[in-house]
Amino acid sequence: MEELEAPRYLPAPSMSDGQRLLINQARDLIPNPWVGDSVSKVIGFQHPQNLPYPTTPLEIIRDGSPTLGGFVARTSDLPSSGTTGAVRDRFALSYPDSPFPADGPHAVITTRVNTSLSENIRIPRSGGPDGFVPGTMPANSRRIDGDPPYQGTGYTSSTDGYLAPEYHTTPTAMDAGANAQGNAVTVMTVKNSDGAPYGIPVDSPNLPAGFPTQYADADGFLPADWKLVPDASSPTGNSWEPL
- What is the tally of structural domains in the chain? 1
Whole-number pLDDT of residue 200: 87
The identity of residue 94, as a single letter, is S
Contact predicate 151/145, CB 8 Å: no
Whole-Å CA distances, 178 to 53, 175, 230: 24, 9, 10
The whole-number pLDDT of residue 55 equals 72
pLDDT value for 99: 83
Looking at residue 135, what is its pLDDT? 80
Structure confidence at residue 53 (pLDDT) = 58
* DSSP notation for the chain: -GGGTTGGGS-GGGS-HHHHHHHHHHHHTSPPPPTT-EEEEEEESS-----SS--SHHHHHHHT--EEEEEEEEGGGS-TT--HHHHHHHHT--STT-S--TTS-EEEEEEE--HHHHHH-BEEE-BSTTSSB-SPPPTTEEE----TT--SSSB---SSS---B-EEEEEEEPP-SB-TTS-BSEEEEEE-TTSSB-PPBTT-TTSPTT--GGG--TTSB--SEEEEEE-TTSTTSEEEEE-
Q: How far is CA 153 from CA 30, 45, 53, 72, 156, in A?
A: 13, 27, 27, 15, 8
> Where in the sequence is the domain holding 40, given as residue range(s)?
2-242
Tens of pLDDT, residue by residue, the chain (243 residues): 555 566 666 667 777 778 888 888 888 999 999 999 999 999 988 755 555 556 788 889 999 999 999 999 999 999 999 999 999 999 988 888 788 888 989 999 999 999 999 999 999 998 887 777 878 888 999 999 888 788 888 988 888 888 899 999 999 999 999 998 999 999 999 999 999 999 989 988 878 888 889 999 999 999 999 999 999 999 999 999 999
Question: What is the average pLDDT value for the chain, to the nearest integer?
Answer: 88
What is the value of pTM for the model shown? 0.90
